[in-house]
Amino acid sequence: MAWIYLLIASVFEIVFALATNATHGFTVLGPSLLTAAAAAGGIFFLSLALRTLDVGVGYTVWTGIGSVGTVVFASVVFHEAMTPAKAVAFVLIIGGVLGLKVADKLATRKTNESDTLAAA
């Protein structure tokens, strides 16, 4: 469930970043309210995810997904340039996020096995 909370938090992070751009320095009410709500939602769901995940893993994955998602959606919504260098960086970030997820799963499995052996 922690990974689902983290994905939800990441969506809020993307909305937060995109809405912040539309606030024009917090001078436009609608995007400003959306920015505040998205920030609160992102932090709330991140906190739920961090009940289970290590903060180093959870925060890094949250910011990684948020960063990649923001650049992808900014290129679509705001017509920002997508360069080959950005694409390579995305692949590296996504690889790091997947690596952290696998490492967390392995650590959890190892902890569960240790707990099982200790109980026996």
Q: Average pLDDT for residues 31-49, to the nearest whole number?
A: 97
pTM as predicted: 0.76
Q: Could you read off the pLDDT of 58-97 as tens digits, one per residue?
A: 998 898 889 889 988 998 988 888 889 988 988 888 888 7
Q: How far apart, in whole angstroms, are the C-alpha atoms of residue 111 and residue 20? A: 41
The pLDDT of residue 113 is above 70: no
Q: How far apart, in whole angstroms, are the C-alpha atoms of residue 65 and residue 42? A: 12
**27, containing H or E segment:** none
Question: What are the structural domain ranges in the chain?
Answer: 2-115
